[in-house]
Amino acid sequence: MSQTAQIRAIIARHRAQGHDAAPLATALRSRMGSRATPAEVDEAVAFCREILDAVPVLIDRLREAAGRQGLAGLIEPMLAHAESYFVDPVDRLPETLLGELGLLDDAYLALNAIRMVQVEPDPLIRIDLGPPMTFLEQVLGESTLARLKAEMAASERLLLREAARWKAAADEQRRREAARRPAEAPLRPAPRPTPGRRMCTACSGLGSATCGACAGYGYHSSGYTRVDWQGNAEYVTERTPCSCSGGQVVCRSCGGSGYV
């Protein structure tokens, strides 16, 4: 059984026990205050369970994305660290005594590990971890978070050890992609007029023309829809540089000389 499958089994086992919802609801009610209605407490319990269910899914998605990019070996120590803590029944909030409430510190550490291996501006998976982590911080409280700092520091040290290898692998991947991409001939300044030659009408003597691939913009635009933890969708636009020289390419009619 894989680690994430074991995490799912642990969550399902504690959820199947009816008494596990009581300590979770009690803890949430104490954090939310006396003004919290039963419906609001139930909604908070549902959000906690949504976060717990998302942890193994995110770990699997992150592992698959890293595998596709050839970076699995670099982030595997971090994921294994988060998984091993999650399945440990004796920790800061032991789930053997507290049920689902005892799994929240494990979920927080796992989400923290996932957030640390996300490298901007091109993360392995696109997910906003801010809302769930902020919510868990409010539920766990300052005393529990203080005790978790040692585990988080261990994760950070592990990430720092892998950072150099991560950067080297990413640089090598970009170098290989650049080598595979066909390069345009560099633009050359138009020479002085030569007797017996006439100015190229295709480029008006400039020796360069507008790139047809990017329409002269120098980049390509692409977009995708991202959904946050609240289910709100937003459209994100990204730009990738074109292989031309700032939206210009060598004129094919005159070869860049400006004259024919």
Q: Is 95 or 167 the better-scoring residue by pLDDT?
A: 167
Q: What is the pTM of this model?
A: 0.58
Q: Provide the residue count of the chain.
A: 260
Give pLDDT, residue 96. Answer: 47
Among 84-93, 182-191, 221-230, the least confident range: 182-191
- Cβ proximity of 41 and 35 under 8 Å: no
Q: 171-189 burial by CB neighbour count: b if 16+ within 10 A, else e?
A: eeeeeeeeeeeeeeeebee
Three-state secondary structure call for residue 112: helix
217-243 mean pLDDT: 70
DSSP β-bridge partners for residue 223: 237
Q: What are the tens digits of pLDDT across the range 44-79? A: 888 998 999 999 999 998 888 888 887 777 778 778
* Tokens linked to 198: 């006439």
Of the ranges 93-102, 161-170, 172-181, the best mean pLDDT one: 172-181
**What are the structural domain ranges in the chain?**
3-176, 183-260
Q: What is d(CA 47, CA 53) in angstroms, rounded to the nearest whole number?
A: 10
Three-state secondary structure call for residue 196: coil
CA distances from 22 to 45, 59, 143 (A): 10, 28, 21
83 CA to centre of own chain: 18
Backbone phi, then psi, for 195, in 5-degree steps?
-55, 135
Question: Mean pLDDT over all residues of the chain?
Answer: 76
* Tokens linked to 219: 């980049």
Q: Residue 125: pLDDT above 50?
A: yes
